[in-house]
Amino acid sequence: MLAVQGQRDAALPLYERSLAIWRELGEPDEQARALSSLGAAHLFHGELGTARSLLRDSAVIARQIGNDDQLAAALGNLGATELAAANFDRATQLLQ
């Protein structure tokens, strides 16, 4: 993941393009995955509000399509976002 390796400026346009492609193709499973990756990239760079919004969208889609693996990934990243924001009760709820 480029964002984790400190290459945020390279990562974000790629994740955004990926999301746009999956939306255009109407692939909700891949949209959820792209939203989660994009959200995680923002999380790793301290942009918690943006991360939270993207990860919530990912979780909503994953729930709608019944993709438990993707839902777990989105909720895990969302829990990490809440931990970073020192929202410990909310983080605990999400991570359980």
With a cut of 50, list the residues of the chain below it in pLDDT: none
Identify the CA nearest to 39 among candidates 69, 12, 20: 12
Residue 9 pLDDT: 76
Domain count, the chain: 1
For 85-96, the pLDDT digits (tens) are 999 999 999 998
Q: Evaluate whether residue 75 is within a structural domain.
A: yes
Given a contact cutoff of 8 angstroms between Cβ atoms, the answer to whether 85 and 48 are in contact is yes
pTM metric for this prediction: 0.88
Residue 82 pLDDT: 96
CA 10, CA 46: separation in Å to the nearest integer?
Answer: 17
Residue 71: which CATH number? 1.25.40.10
Q: Evaluate whether residue 3 is within a structural domain.
A: no
| Residue 79 structural domain | 8-95
Given a contact cutoff of 8 angstroms between Cβ atoms, the answer to whether 44 and 8 are in contact is yes
Q: Evaluate whether residue 43 is within a structural domain.
A: yes
